[in-house]
């Protein structure tokens, strides 16, 4: 497994810090326990919660899944018990079905995830509805409203107003804990928004769900204020939008630099220099910056913008992905045999 190399960029955008980010912890951390041992405890606690709790699915199913009413729906959990008259409710665990189609609503799913040490986890996530908008990549910036709790219902953070944040941590750019990221990428954004008469905005047909995160994919040994170390954490959320990131400022959205499309940009390194493409401003190592390999044909004498400097970006699209000067099917910025540049 290739080591993930993090380098600080002074030009990276600073984002709002809040508790689902993986750097929002107290200053002191206790010595770490064995990850496999902790996970064995965590999965028992999570599965016990899923087996003894339900969510307000009847409220959700009272309206069409993609409706104005459900655009404002918020997931809430309660205990199944004779005492509170909920003994006939369907538990979260009884909703588990990994064979259902991606469009299925009102379902619990699970996926296998490894942390950076190679420890394997089962990550459960509830899909009230997956969403009808854009897919989200692990290298994107997501916009969500959310609430973070522990198993007893105590909340440690949340925002009813959608907040943007990077999903991946890189250098000085804070991301989110791995479990939250791995859950969010299974959902889609809204298809648009409606501005109400009172000035409030309602997002339409976005993904709504919850994620049940073992501490190894959360904060592990790093305690939050009021929450012990090695505590599983749960998030309910509405995913309303996504934005491109460009960590290396090469004019290529970071998610497009995940060449094998496995949601892990760290394992794509075209020139083998131990810098992942999404953090390498010369992806093919040919001495020409990626952002300068935006060419539209092979005539380097064309002055397309009339500024007196010959360039070759005739349509000025700023997109190196569609430029292949030697016609070998490899974009210039990934082709070590092609060093054409619009900077002459």
Domain chopping of the chain, boundaries: 35-243
Report the chain's mean pLDDT, rounded to a whole number: 84
Is 36 or 256 the better-scoring residue by pLDDT? Answer: 36
Where do runs of H (alpha helix) occur along the chain? 35-52, 57-61, 68-71, 178-184
In this structure, which CATH number among 1.10.40.50, 3.30.460.80, 3.10.50.40, 3.40.190.10 belongs to the domain 35-243?
3.10.50.40
Is 12 or 300 the better-scoring residue by pLDDT? Answer: 300
Mean pLDDT of all residues in 136-156: 95
Residue with tokens 């976005």: 206
| 93, two tokens | 């665990």
In the predicted structure, residue 174 carries a pLDDT above the cut 50: yes
**Are the C-beta atoms of residues 261 and 250 closer than 8 Å to each other?**
no
Query: For position 7, what pLDDT does the model report?
Result: 29
Query: For position 200, what pLDDT does the model report?
Result: 82
Residue among 313, 259, 267 nearest 291 (CA): 313
Distance from C-alpha of 202 to C-alpha of 109, rounded to nearest angstrom? 27
Range in 34-48, 141-155, 222-236 the model is least confident about: 222-236
| pLDDT confidence bin for 296, thresholds 50/70/90 | low
In the predicted structure, residue 30 carries a pLDDT above the cut 80: no
Query: For position 167, what pLDDT does the model report?
Result: 94
pTM: 0.82
Residue 105's CB is within 10 A of a number of other CB atoms, namely 17
Residue among 237, 203, 202 nearest 128 (CA): 237
Range in 24-38, 43-57, 195-209, 238-252 the model is least confident about: 24-38
Query: How confident is the model over 54-105, as pLDDT tens digits?
Result: 999 999 999 999 999 999 999 999 999 999 899 999 999 999 999 999 999 9
Question: Across the chain, how many H-helices and E-strands are there?
Answer: 4, 10
Mean pLDDT of all residues in 201-216: 96
Q: DSSP string covering 31-58, please?
A: PPPPHHHHHHHHHHHHHHHHHHEEE-HH
In the predicted structure, residue 15 carries a pLDDT above the cut 50: no
Distance from C-alpha of 119 to C-alpha of 230, rounded to nearest angstrom? 15
């Amino acid at each position: 497994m290739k080591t993930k190399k993090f380098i600080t960029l002074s030009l990276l955008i600073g984002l709002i810090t809040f508790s689902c980010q993986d750097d929002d912890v107290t200053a002191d951390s206790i010595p770490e326990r064995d990850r496999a041992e902790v996970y064995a405890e965590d999965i028992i606690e999570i599965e016990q919660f899923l087996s003894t709790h339900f969510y307000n699915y009847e409220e959700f199913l009272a309206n069409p899944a993609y409706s104005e009413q459900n655009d404002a729906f918020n997931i809430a959990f309660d205990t199944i018990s004779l005492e509170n008259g909920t003994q006939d409710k369907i538990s979260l665990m009884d909703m588990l079905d990994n064979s259902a189609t991606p469009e299925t609503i009102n379902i619990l799913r699970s996926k296998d995830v490894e942390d950076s040490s190679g420890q394997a986890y089962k990550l459960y996530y509830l899909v009230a509805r997956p969403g009808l908008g854009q897919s989200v990549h692990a290298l994107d910036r997501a916009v969500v409203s959310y609430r973070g709790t522990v198993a007893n219902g105590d909340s440690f953070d949340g925002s009813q107003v959608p907040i943007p944040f990077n999903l991946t941590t890189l250098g000085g750019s804070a991301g989110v804990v791995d479990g939250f990221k791995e859950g969010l990428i299974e959902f889609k954004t809204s298809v648009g928004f409606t501005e109400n008469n009172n000035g409030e905005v309602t997002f339409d047909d976005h993904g709504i769900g919850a994620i049940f995160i073992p501490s190894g994919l959360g904060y592990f040994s790093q305690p939050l204020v009021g929450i012990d170390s090695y505590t599983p954490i749960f998030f309910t959320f509405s995913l309303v939008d996504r934005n491109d990131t460009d960590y290396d400022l090469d004019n290529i959205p970071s998610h497009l630099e995940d060449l094998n499309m496995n949601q892990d940009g760290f394992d794509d390194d075209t020139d083998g220099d131990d810098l992942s493409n999404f953090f390498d401003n010369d992806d093919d190592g040919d001495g020409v910056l990626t952002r300068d390999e935006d060419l539209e044909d092979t005539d380097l004498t064309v002055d397309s913008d009339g500024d007196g400097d010959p360039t070759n970006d005739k349509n000025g699209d700023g997109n190196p992905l569609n430029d292949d000067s030697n016609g070998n099917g490899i974009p210039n910025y990934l082709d070590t045999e092609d060093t054409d540049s619009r900077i002459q």
